[in-house]
Structure 1
Amino acid sequence: MTPVIQFIKKQIVSEQSNNKPVRFQVYTEHQLEKIEALQQLPEQQRFEMKVVAKILPFRVNEYVIDNLIDWNNIPDDPIFQLVFPQKGMLSEADFAQMATLLRRGADRHLIQQTVHEIRQRLNPHPAGQLSLNVPREENERMEGIQHKYRETVLFFPSQGQVCHSFCSFCFRWAQFIGDKELRFSNKEAMQLYRYLSRHESISDLLITGGDPMVMKTDHLANYLEPLLTPELAHIQTIRIGTKSLSFWPQRFVHDADAGELLTLLKRMVQSGKHVAIMAHYNHWREMTTPIAQEAIRRLRETGAVIRTQSPLLNTINNDPAIWARMWREQVRLGMVPYYMFVERDTGARHYFEVPLARAWDVYRKAMQQVSGLGRTVRGPSMSAGPGKVEIQGVTHINKEKVFVLRFVQGRNPDWVQQPFFAKYDAEATWLDQLKPAFGESRFFFQDEYDAMCEEKINPRTYV
C-alpha cells in the first residue's frame, strides 16, 4: 500500500468514526496536480486527464476523494469514473487534436477556439432545451425557465448553477463551462412567480441547476417563501434536484446554515407544500458513510420526501446487482427509488451509454432482486425531445421482435401512457435510432412533434 493510500485510508477512518466537521476544499482543472492521491498515477494518465478536462468541466472536493473512492482500484473504481476525466470520454480525433495543442504549448486563443469547436460537436443542449423548452410571454423568452410538460416548470436560480463536484456524465455540462449563450440561469425570481401565477395547470416547480443546495439558505428562502402566497396555491409540489447528499452531505449536518436549511424545508412542508428532494445517486457506495446517512435522516425529519434517480452508466453502474443493492439500501434508509434513466445524447455519451436492450435487461434483472417497495422505479427512461419514453420490454408480436415503449411524460399530454412499438435493434442507444415496427413509416407522435420543432414552440404545454 502506497503512502498516499495509507494517508487516505486514515482520513476515511477518522471522518467516519468521528463524524466531525471537515473543511470544504474543491479542485478544478487548474488544481489537478495538487490532488495528492493522483500522484500515484502514471504521468501519461494525469496528462490525459488534463486533456479531457479542457473540454468537459471538472470539479471534485476532498470529501469525495477521501471517502468515496477506492484508490486501490484505479481506474476501474466507479466513483473515480464518476468524477475524474478519462481519455475515452472524447473521441480519438478530438483527444488527439487537443493533446497535440497542449504538448506543443499552443497559444491560449487557439486552444480556446479548439475547445469551443469540440464542445459544439458534443450536442451541449439536447432534446430541444434551447429551442422548445424555454417559454415565451408577450414574445419574450423566459430565460432560466423551462416548461416542457404541462404540470411541471423547471427553474435555474443563478446562485445554484454549480455543484459540489461535477459528474463526468452530466447532461447539463454546458452549464459549467462559462459560455453565457449555453447557460440557463435567472436571478429575477419575480418573472418566475408571474409566470406561475398565470398558469394554474402548473402543479410542480423543480428548482434545478447545477445544484440548488450550493446556495446559502437565505438565498434559497428568497426563492421558496414567495411560493406560500395565495396566488401560488396551485403549486402543490416543490422539487429540489441535488447531488449534495452524495458529494457534500455536510450541507445538511455541519455547514454553518445547515440548521436554517432544515428549518426552511420543514416550514415549507408544514405550510402545506409537498417538498421532494430529487436526489441523484449513481452507486450504492454514495450512501455508505455515516455522515451521508445522517444527512438523509435529518432531511427526512423535515417531512420532505427523498426520491432517487440515476442514469444507467457504463463503467459506473452497468450491472443489475449494483442497482438492486442501491435500491434496497435507499428503501432501508427511507428514500423512494424513482427513475432509471438512459444516458442522454450529449457530452461523453459514447463512453457511458449502453444499448437500450442492455438497459432493459439490467432494469428487469435488478427489479427481480428487490421487494415491492423498491419497485417504484420507472425506467429505463429516455428524456428525449418528444418526452420521457420508457422501455417496457422486448417481445415478439406476429413473429417480429420489438421494443415495447410508452410515454411517461409527453409534450402533448395526450401521448402519455400510449404504448407503441419499435423494431428491435441490439445496437440502438436512443429514441432517434429506433424505427417503427410492423411496417409503419412513422411513430404516432412524429408528425405533431415535427410541427412543434418547425414552429419552435411547445403549443400544448401552456394551455
Structure 2
Amino acid sequence: MQQVVNVQQPIITPRKFKVYQHRQLDKIEALKKVPDDMRFEMKVVANVLPFRVNEYVFNELIDWENVPNDPLFQLTFPQKDMLEPSAYQRMADLMSGKHTTNEVFDLATQLRDEMNPHPAGQMQMNVPHVDGEPLPGMQHKYRETVLFFPAQGQYCHSYCTFCFRWAQFVGKATRFNSNDADQLHRYLAQHKEVTDLLVTGGDPMVMRTRKLAHYLEGLLQPEFEHIKTIRIGTKSLTFWPYRFITDPDADDLLRLLERLVDGGKHVSIMAHLNHPNELRTEVCQEAIRRLRATGVQIRCQAPLLKHINDDPDVWASMWEKQVQLGLIPYYMFVERDTGAKRYFEVPLERTWEIFQKAYQQVSGIARTVRGPSMSAGPGKVEVQGVTEIAGEKVFALRFIQGRNPDWVQRPFFAKYDPDATWLHHLKPAFGEEKFFFEDEYSKMSAMD
C-alpha cells in the first residue's frame, strides 16, 4: 500500500500593508540608489499618471541591481518617456519653478485629457440604461457579460504603469463605480441573456470580504440561476498575496468563494500577471494553493508591453509557470490606445510574432491562451497572423468577442502596415472601402 505523504504548508508571517503614493516617493528607501535626475523625472510623471506601490512589491519583486531595466520596476514606477516630450517638458518646467498645488493639478488635468482617458466607447456605449437613465458603475458591452465596478474597489494594492483604467485613479475624472447592490441585482434579474458577472475596478480584492459578499451572495438566489459565472478581476495575487493568507478576513474571503462554488457558480479569478518574476515568491504560491482549494479557477491575462515582456521567452516561461501552479493561461492583449501607450505599445506584426514564437515553445496544456487581442470599440479583435493572399500582404484578423455576436469568429483582412499598433491604424485589404462591421458599428455609435 502506497504511503500518503503529507506536504507541510509554509508558515507565512503576517505583514502590515504599507503603501506609497507620489507625494511619498522620497520616503521609499530603495529609491535612494536612483540618481537625483531620475527621481525628479518620476515625480513629474507621477503628477500626471497614477502612482501607488506597496512595500511587498518593491522589496520582494524588484531587483534593484537591475534598475531601471527590471521589469517589475518598469511595471510600477513612472518613467520619463511615458509622457509625450512636450507634455513632460511643460510639467517639468512648472515643477522646476515656483508653483502652487492648484497649478500642477490644472496642468495635469489638461495633459490627461490629451491621453484618450476613456477608450473604446466606455463612457458612451458601454453603460446600460433603465427607463432612459444610465446605471452608474456598470458596463454591458457584450451580450453575455456585465461588468460591475464596486465603489469600495476603485483603487489597487499597487498601480501598473500601463493600466488602461488609469483615469479611474487620478484627479476629479469621471469614474465608473457604484455601491448599489440592489440596482446591480435588479438589472441582472431583468436580463436573462447575461450569464457572466465580472467584478472589476480598480481591484475588488482591496475590499473587505463583507463588502464583496454584499454584492455576490445574493446571486445564489433562484432568480439568478442564469448567472453561471462570477469573475473577479484582480492583481492582488502577485501584488498583495497576503490578502488570501494573513489579512484579518482572509479566511472569510476563502469561505465566501467556497459558498459561491458550492452554490453552483463557476468562480473565476481573473489574475493580471505581466511577468514570470511575479510568481516566484513563496507567499504568492501559497495564496494560489489556498485559492484553488476553494474550488475557484484562476485564469491569467496581460498585455504585451515594451520594456516589460516583449520577448517570446518571457511569455513561454510565464505560461509554463502558470500551468505548473495550476493556473490557466487565458489572454495576451495588445496594449490599449490610452495613457502611456507610446511607451509600451509594440507594432501588431511584432506582437503577433512574439505570440507565435512563445506559443511554439509550450505544450498543448498551455495553449488555452488566446491573442494577441485588441479590446477595441467594436469588440475583441485577434491578430491571427501576417500572410499573403493573391499577391497582397495582409493581416488576418477575427473577432473573439463583438458588440454584435454575429461578428464573432468571422475572418477579415487588413492591408499590411508594419507600423500599425491598433485597429484604427488598419485599412481593409483587397480594395474594400470598409471592414464588414463598420457600418453597423457606426449606427451603434450614433445611437449612444
TM over 0.5: yes
Query: Counterpart of 1:423 in structure 2: which amino acid?
Result: K
- Count of residues in Structure 1 that have an aligned counterpart in Structure 2: 439
* Residue aligning to 1:295: 287
Query: Which sits farther off after the overlay, 368-377 or 108-117?
Result: 108-117
CA displacement, residues 308-349 of structure 1 (integer Å, 9 cap, x when unaligned)? 000000000000000000000000000000000000000000
Distance 2:142 2:98 in 1: 48
Matched, 1:162 2:155: yes
Tell me if structure 2 keeps the 8 A contact 1:252–1:262: yes
Tell me if structure 1 keeps the 8 A contact 2:398–2:410: yes
State the TM-score, normalized to the length of structure 2. 0.97
Q: Percent identity?
A: 62
Matched, 1:67 2:60: yes
CA displacement, residues 199-231 of structure 1 (integer Å, 9 cap, x when unaligned)? 100000000000000000111111110011111
* Residue aligning to 1:191: 183
Equivalent residue runs for 1:316-355 within 5 Å: 316-355=308-347
Matched, 1:361 2:353: yes
Equivalent residue runs for 1:134-213 within 5 Å: 134-179=127-172, 181-213=173-205
Equivalent residue runs for 1:367-382 within 5 Å: 367-382=359-374
Matched, 1:24 2:17: yes
Tell me if structure 2 keeps the 8 A contact 1:125–1:182: no
Distance 2:101 2:207 in 1: 32
State the TM-score, normalized to the length of structure 1. 0.94
Deviation of residue 108 (structure 1)?
2.4
Distance 1:164 1:292 in 2: 14
Deviation of residue 40 (structure 1)?
1.0
Tell me if structure 2 keeps the 8 A contact 1:124–1:182: no
Distance 2:320 2:84 in 1: 36
Distance 2:228 2:419 in 1: 41
* Residue aligning to 2:114: 121
Query: Counterpart of 1:149 in structure 2: which amino acid?
Result: Y
Tell me if structure 2 keeps the 8 A contact 1:250–1:295: yes
Query: Counterpart of 2:105 in structure 1: which amino acid?
Result: Q
SS at match of 1:368: helix
Tell me if structure 2 keeps the 8 A contact 1:26–1:60: yes
Matched, 1:40 2:40: no
SS at match of 2:53: strand
CA displacement, residues 68-88 of structure 1 (integer Å, 9 cap, x when unaligned)? 000000100000000000000
* Residue aligning to 2:401: 409
Query: Counterpart of 1:48 in structure 2: which amino acid?
Result: E
Deviation of residue 419 (structure 1)?
0.3
SS at match of 1:432: helix
Matched, 1:271 2:267: no
Equivalent residue runs for 1:395-434 within 5 Å: 395-434=387-426
Query: Counterpart of 1:46 in structure 2: which amino acid?
Result: R
CA displacement, residues 170-214 of structure 1 (integer Å, 9 cap, x when unaligned)? 0000111142x4210000111111111111000000000000000
Deviation of residue 112 (structure 1)?
1.5
Distance 2:215 2:180 in 1: 10
Distance 2:121 2:110 in 1: 20
SS at match of 1:439: coil
Deviation of residue 264 (structure 1)?
0.5
Deviation of residue 107 (structure 1)?
2.3
Unmatched segments (≥5 aa) in structure 2: 1-9
Distance 1:211 1:109 in 2: 29
Query: Counterpart of 1:127 in structure 2: which amino acid?
Result: A
Matched, 1:110 2:103: yes
Of the candidates 299, 302, 305, which is equivalent to residue 297 of structure 2?
305
Moved segments of 4+, more than 4 Å: none
Deviation of residue 21 (structure 1)?
1.4
Tell me if structure 1 keeps the 8 A contact 2:237–2:288: yes
Distance 1:424 1:390 in 2: 15
SS at match of 1:63: helix
Query: Counterpart of 1:295 in structure 2: which amino acid?
Result: A
Deviation of residue 94 (structure 1)?
0.3
Distance 1:383 1:137 in 2: 26
**What is the root-mean-square deviation of aligned Cα atoms in Å?**
0.8
